[in-house]
Each structure stands twice: as C-alpha cells, then as structure tokens.
C-alpha cells in the first residue's frame, strides 16, 4: 500500500465515522448536543395599517454549537409569511436566514424581519399573534408576538 492509498482510505474512514455520529444523534433525538435549541425573545408586531401586510420582529438565539437556519414561518393570521432582508433600504424575500452557533439572529426595524402578506384580520395594540418558526435543524418554535403601537421600536425601549 503506498502513501496515497493510505491517505485516501483514512479520509474515507473518517467521513464514514462522521456520518455515523451525526446519523446517530439525529435518530436518538434528545441527547441534547446534536440538535440546536432556539430561544426567542422580544417578539412584537407593530399594529398593521391595514390588512395588506404586517412586519414582525424578535431576537432568535441559538444556544448550541450547531449553526442553523430559519427556513420558514407560519401563522393563522396569514397564509403567506415571508422572510425579508433589507438591502439599500429595500426589502427582499430570502429563502432562509442564518442563526449562527452560539449566536443570534436579530429581526429588527430597518433590517431583517418576518413579513405577513395578506392578513385575515387586522390586529390591534394589545392583541397577541402566534407564529411558528421553522428551522433547518432545530424543532419548530411557537412565539407570541405582542401587537404594539405603530411607532414602537424595541431597540429604543430597552435603551440599547
């Protein structure tokens, strides 16, 4: 066996081992270290102007060593929820958004946000709107959004 063959074989073996480990942890479900866990804080929706659209903002925290992605959002309030980023003051839909390992994804005014397209009713200040966040790896997370005044901005209220 020459050196090259040995190297190739070693690489193949380590790849197999890695696959076996990740396959195992996702199957067993509940060991805790394989799957990212998300916690969401500060979720709110500024009171929509009409039933055409509404934005939602929150901070999604990934408490694990595994990077993940927000891939979708659902709610009873609308059949079409989109993930938007803001570039050059214009917002555009994206298929997913990164939630870094041991990091957070901030959805905030003027930046990334969740967008409801077409509302089944128009929530008022004090109402709650439930959304479910879907991730590539982590379990879905249900979040209650507080409906706030139109001008509300979480960043200002926390004095950040």
- Min CB(83)–Cu ion separation in Å: 9
- Min CB(61)–Cu ion separation in Å: 22
Nearer to Cu ion, 59 or 91 (CB): 91
- Min CB(90)–Cu ion separation in Å: 9
SS3 letters for the chain? Answer: CCHHHHHHHHHHHHHHHHHHHHHHHHHHCCCCCCCCCEEEEEEEEECCCCCCEEEEEEEEEECCCCCEEEEEEEECCECCEEEEEEECCEEEEECCEEECCCCEEEECCCCCEEEEECCCCCCCCCCEEEEEEEECCCCCEEEEEEEECCCCCHHHHCCC
Nearer to Cu ion, 138 or 145 (CB): 145
- In the complex, the residues that contact Cu ion under the rule CB under 5 A are 84, 91, 115
Nearer to Cu ion, 59 or 115 (CB): 115
- Min CB(72)–Cu ion separation in Å: 15
Nearer to Cu ion, 69 or 84 (CB): 84
């Amino acid at each position: 066996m020459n050196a090259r063959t040995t190297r190739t074989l070693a690489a193949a073996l380590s790849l197999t081992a890695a696959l076996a480990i990740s396959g195992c942890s996702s199957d067993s479900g509940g060991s805790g270290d394989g799957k990212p866990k998300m916690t969401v804080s500060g979720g709110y929706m500024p009171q929509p102007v009409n039933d055409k659209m509404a934005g939602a903002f929150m901070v999604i925290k990934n408490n694990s060593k595994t990077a993940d992605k927000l891939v979708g959002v659902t709610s009873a309030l609308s059949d079409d929820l989109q993930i938007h980023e803001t570039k050059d003051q214009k917002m555009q839909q994206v298929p997913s958004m990164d939630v870094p390992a041991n990091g957070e994804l901030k959805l905030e005014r003027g930046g990334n946000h969740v967008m409801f397209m077409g509302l089944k009713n128009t929530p008022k200040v004090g109402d709650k709107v439930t959304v479910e966040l879907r991730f590539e790896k982590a379990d879905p997370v249900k979040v209650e959004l507080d409906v706030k005044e139109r001008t509300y901005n979480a960043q200002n209220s926390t004095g950040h």
